Structure 1
Amino acid sequence: MKYVEQVKSILLTFLVLLSIIFTLLIWNYKPDYGLIEETQIEEVMVGQQKELNDVLKPYRLLYRQNDEFFGTVSPSVLNELYSYLRTWETSELDLINTNLSDEKMNGIIRTNNRVTMFFNEELPLQVFSNVVSFNDKAIPGASFTRLILDWSTLETNNQLQLLFLNTEKRILYRTYADIVNTDKFLTEVIEPAKDYSPYVEIERDSLRSLYVSKNPIQSTRYTYLIQEISPNLFKSIVFTQPKIVQRNIESEYSDRYTDDTSLMTVDTKNRILNYVYPPAESIVPIPSSKLLKDSFDYINDHGGFTGDYRFSSMNIEKHITEYQLFLHGLPIYSNMTTTPTRIITTWGENRIFRYRRPYYSIATEGEVYREQKELVSGEEVIEYIRNTDDSFKDIDEVVVGYYFAQDEAFILEPSWFTISNNEWTHISPERTGGIIDGLE
């Protein structure tokens, strides 16, 4: 037993040395890590992205010169005018009136040397600052439905007067813009108006006037091949984890896509999809400018404006924003309550709650047939409405648009429509007799 202590000492020394060796090995060990590549999330696009001003467009330009009206819906004319708007910097916005009568508002539009832009819905000034640069530190939280450009003093002081009129709230704002090249503006924007379609004002007792074409309208009936956008692309857009989404075919014309929290239904007959994310539902108030901007950004992030879609309606309380499809400057309306010619969003709690839209596009290369058609004048339409419809006083607008039908192809029939409370009614007074349909 006399060697026990020596053995213990040797064993302890060995263990200490072994511990030191392991420690040194750990300190000096360099593992061969492989290069970890950052996972790339594929960006899914269904169309080209657009600028905000592309959807903030009016449905009509109405010029007043020498006590006469001239109007146009031409996209090229509108784009030319917008190219000027975007270069202007205005003075401070002044509130002029907060209780305008219908007669006063009619008078503002009727004044000579003015062009009026007609918008379908109240447009927040804060959002329109993407089109016109306001020289104002605090843009008021107001909105407008008519933008009037007054060039009556342009040649004397190189200034345009801009009037922002809200026909619903009866409010008027005013500002001024300095024009660098007045001759160019008059030559390119104002002088061509005398060649546009002559319009007439339809005055109504204690109501806002209507403005319609004085002469018959030469238009075109179009037939287009259907260009479909795959719903699977939208599956990758609207769902946060597309790989776990399950697809079920419920019927011949109905598909259903689901994950744990959201649902997308696809109407394959009418080519409409409807996505909803119930957890995002919210009743928290959202300012109109934020609601419009959030809606636009959501759709535009995946190139969702697959045509000439224009901001057309907003329900602030329900957080709903709508964009109407246009072609050749005219709105396209359908007889289906599922609104296959509108993109509709409902905003929720910091994200989309509902997204409803068509999944087709109308492109010029898809045109297969066209046929010239003459529509009766606006004056004849007004006379027809007066004689057949007791609700003439309730009409907000009378416009020409396309009546949309689809089967194996898209058929776009030029027609007259009346608009009341964002609901349209298709009328054909010329020879077929009467009201055909009326839906939102």
Structure 2
Amino acid sequence: MRGLYYERLKTWLLVFLVLLSLVLTYFLWTYKPDLMEQDSEAVEVNEIGEEKSIQDVIRPSKIVKHQFGESFMVLETDDLFDEIYQTLLNADLYETNAFPQTDVTTGIEFVFPDRIPMGMFMSLFSQDRQEDEFPLRGVDRVLLYEDEPDNGVKLQVYSSGDKAPFEIPTSFQASDLQRFLDDDTAVPAITVNEPNTDSYILNQENIYIPSGEIAYARQQYSTERVPADDITKTLFPDPQTVRNYRQSNGEFTYTDGTRILNLRDNENFMTYRNSSISDSTNSSTSSIPQTSFDYINNHHGWTNDYVLSRWRESNERESAVYRLFVNNLPVFNFKNSRDSMTIQVEKSGTQTTSYERPLLKLDPTPIDEQNIELQSGVSVLEKLEAAENLDLTNVQDVRVGYEMIDQDNQRGLVTFEPAWYVFTSNSNGWQKVPAEGGANELE
């Protein structure tokens, strides 16, 4: 009897264990841990800014209207500037023509700060077009005009390296083009370089500046700083292996042995170097502007408005520079340092080897604003011509930009002061044109 009792007990125990196993198996299969929220938080830590589109970082430095034998500039701070450019980007492009018209005298010229690689230029537009459909390697300038015989609007595209424009028919509306040309907010323009009589407007490569006095806003912003922890979690594969120390000059250094990050000027700026080169002989199929854009986008690194301003490539290394823009104007100086308010990315082969940038983030809107009238373009040109140390043939661009000034007695506040700047082929960067005298200080 006792044996029968034990047998029944073992049978019920076995049944219980089988049922328990089934229940546990069910929970194991159906269990969904709350990983999405954790992952989202982890990704959020590594995002130091926001993601951008190509259209956000590629924009012309100047828009010039040509009509009645004269040139007129649309100021960067005028709403018309963005409206014209955005209307162009919304247009479709059609088949190309290698022999564009030479007698075009009326149209709108767009000047870019550097040659835009053809692949990036095409990606600005809505439709999917192949890069090899177009004969140029890049685009410096474009001219939008109406071909009156068929009332179609066409685009002449130009590269300073090829010196031969080609033509692209577009879906741009002739009525929109005429409306932009009729708008009277543009200001008369003069050219810094000597007049060029080439039959193509784009081939003349004119450096345009407003001829008269112009007013731009002096703006003040409050700032915050990207935390050092967010930077290290973004740039180091395993933040647990990172060690940090403070140097004698006050800079903070973080390193994992192959990568090194220096934070300077009260952690407002960073320099990152990566020496873990896997294979520098393999070159990327994409241009450095595209790969650098992707690199910054991958960690949502756009902390404010930055625009592609310069890029270079060679067999040894490639580099791209994105400059901070405020109120649609470039920022050239900060604390007597040229190009400090830029994001710079360098590559060797397929590896990003250097990453330099400011860690300051401006609040979205200024806390103070006041219009400042600048000297006329005619006066600026006279100063450039009179400068003993400046050869006018070396001038590559002249434009209005901002100097960024921090407030010694008000931490976290910066002021952007508008001024004229000049860039020459033999200089280390943009130089401020003195407002009063001092032209010979220019290099």
Q: 1:131/1:351 Cα in 2 relative to 1: closer, same or farther (>3 Å)?
A: same
Q: 1:247/1:270 Cα in 2 relative to 1: closer, same or farther (>3 Å)?
A: closer
Q: 1:205/1:199 Cα in 2 relative to 1: closer, same or farther (>3 Å)?
A: closer
- More moved, 31-40 vs 272-281: 31-40
Structure 2: gaps of 5 or more residues: 1-16, 197-203
In 2, are the aligned partners of 1:49 and 1:300 still within 8 Å (CA)?
A: yes
In the superposition, the TM-score normalised over structure 1's length comes to: 0.80
Query: Which residue matches 1:6?
Result: none
Pair 1:191-2:171 in alignment: no
In the superposition, the TM-score normalised over structure 2's length comes to: 0.80
Q: Deviations over 1:130-158 (max 9, x none)?
A: 123475673346101111111252xx534
Match of 1:427 among 429, 432, 438: 432
Which amino acid in structure 2 is aligned with residue 138 of structure 1? Answer: D
Q: Distance in 2 between matches of 1:344 and 1:182?
A: 40
Which amino acid in structure 2 is aligned with residue 340 of structure 1? Answer: S
1:109-120 matched pairs, under 5 angstroms = 111-120=104-113
Q: Distance in 2 between matches of 1:359 and 1:436?
A: 31
Query: Which residue matches 1:102?
Result: none
Query: Which residue matches 1:175?
Result: 168
Cα root mean square deviation, aligned: 3.1
Q: 1:113/1:253 Cα in 2 relative to 1: closer, same or farther (>3 Å)?
A: farther
In 2, are the aligned partners of 1:324 and 1:331 still within 8 Å (CA)?
A: yes
Q: 1:418/1:57 Cα in 2 relative to 1: closer, same or farther (>3 Å)?
A: same
Structure 1: gaps of 5 or more residues: 1-24, 98-106
Question: How far apart are 1:223 and its partner, in Å?
Answer: 2.7
Return the structure number with greater strand share: 1
SS at match of 2:429: strand
Query: Which residue matches 2:420?
Result: 416
- More moved, 401-410 vs 356-365: 401-410
In 1, are the aligned partners of 2:244 and 2:254 still within 8 Å (CA)?
A: yes
Q: Deviations over 1:197-222 (max 9, x none)?
A: 21123451778533111110112222
Q: Distance in 2 between matches of 1:273 and 1:137?
A: 35
In 2, are the aligned partners of 1:85 and 1:131 still within 8 Å (CA)?
A: no
1:261-340 matched pairs, under 5 angstroms = 261-269=258-266, 271-280=268-277, 282=280, 284-287=282-285, 289-317=286-314, 318-334=317-333, 339-340=339-340
Pair 1:144-2:149 in alignment: no
How many pairs align?
397
In 1, are the aligned partners of 2:52 and 2:297 still within 8 Å (CA)?
A: yes
Query: Which residue matches 1:49?
Result: 51
Larger Rg: 1
Question: How far apart are 1:426 and its partner, in Å?
Answer: 2.8
Query: Which residue matches 2:71?
Result: 69
1:4-15 matched pairs, under 5 angstroms = none
Q: Distance in 1 between matches of 2:147 and 2:211?
A: 25
1:234-245 matched pairs, under 5 angstroms = 234-245=231-242
Q: 1:190/1:363 Cα in 2 relative to 1: closer, same or farther (>3 Å)?
A: farther
Query: Which residue matches 1:223?
Result: 220
State the identity %.
18
Q: Distance in 1 between matches of 2:347 and 2:182?
A: 43
Question: How far apart are 1:356 and its partner, in Å?
Answer: 0.8
